[in-house]
Amino acid sequence: MTSLAVVDSLDIQIIVDNVTDSLSSVPSFIETELGGLGRRRGGAWVLGGGCLCCAAHGLSCLLTVKIGGRSHSVLFDTGPEDRVFEQNVSRLGLDLGTVEAMVLSHGHWDHAGAMLRALQLALDRNGGKRVGCYVHPDMFRSRAVKMPDGSFRPMEDVPLPADLEAQGGRVVCTREPQVIADSVFVSSEIPRRTPFETGLPGQHRRTEDGKGWEPDELLIDERFVAVKVRDKGLVVLTACSHAGVINVLNHARESFPDVKLHCVLGGLHLSGTNERVIPQTIEALKGFDLDVVAAGHCTGWRAMAALANAFGDKKLAPLAVGKRLSF
Q: Assess whether pLDDT exceeds 90 at residue 171.
A: yes
Q: Assess whether pLDDT exceeds 70 at residue 315.
A: yes
Rounded to a whole number of angstroms, the distance between the first and last alpha carbons of the chain is 24
Residue 221 lies in a domain: yes
Q: Assess whether pLDDT exceeds 70 at residue 33.
A: yes
> CA 317, 319, 322, 326: dihedral to nearest 10 degrees?
40
Residue 110 lies in a domain: yes
Residue 1 lies in a domain: no
CA 223 from chain center: how many Å?
Answer: 10
The pLDDT assigned to 233 comes to 98
Mean pLDDT across the chain: 96
| Distance, CA of 184 to CA of 64 (rounded, Å) | 10
List the domain range (segments joined by +) for residue 37.
6-326
Contact 142, 205 (CB under 8 A): yes
Residue 241 lies in a domain: yes
- AA identity, residue 193: R
Q: Assess whether pLDDT exceeds 90 at residue 312.
A: yes
- What's the CATH code of the domain at 291? 3.60.15.10
| Distance, CA of 213 to CA of 37 (rounded, Å) | 47
Residue 154 lies in a domain: yes
The pLDDT assigned to 124 comes to 97
The pLDDT assigned to 49 comes to 87
| Distance, CA of 270 to CA of 248 (rounded, Å) | 14
Residue 67: which of 327, 257, 290, 255 has the closest Cα? Answer: 327
Look at the chain and count its residues: 327
Average confidence (pLDDT) over 223-229: 98
Residue 24 lies in a domain: yes
Looking at the structure of the chain, the number of domains it has is: 1
| Distance, CA of 206 to CA of 202 (rounded, Å) | 13
Q: What is the 3-state secondary structure (H, E, C) of 202-221?
A: CEEEECCCCCCEEECCCCCC
Contact 103, 115 (CB under 8 A): no
Residues 35-48 pLDDT 10s: 998 888 776 778 88
- Nearest 5°: phi and psi at 218? -80, -20
Q: List C-alpha distances in Å: 12 to 16, 118, 161.
A: 12, 17, 26
The pLDDT assigned to 25 comes to 95
The pLDDT assigned to 42 comes to 74
Bridging pattern class, strands 70-76 and 292-296? unpaired
pLDDT interval class at 89 (50, 70, 90): very high
- AA identity, residue 135: V
Residues 176-199 pLDDT 10s: 999 999 999 999 999 999 999 999
Residues 274-285 pLDDT 10s: 999 999 999 999
pLDDT greater at residue 50 or residue 146: 146
The pLDDT assigned to 1 comes to 64
Which has the minimum average pLDDT: 37-51, 90-104, 120-134? 37-51
Residue 33: which of 326, 321, 327, 325 has the closest Cα? Answer: 321
Tell me the whole-structure pTM to 2 decimals: 0.97
Q: Assess whether pLDDT exceeds 80 at residue 142.
A: yes
- The helix-helix angle for 301-315 and 278-285 (nearest 10°) equals 20
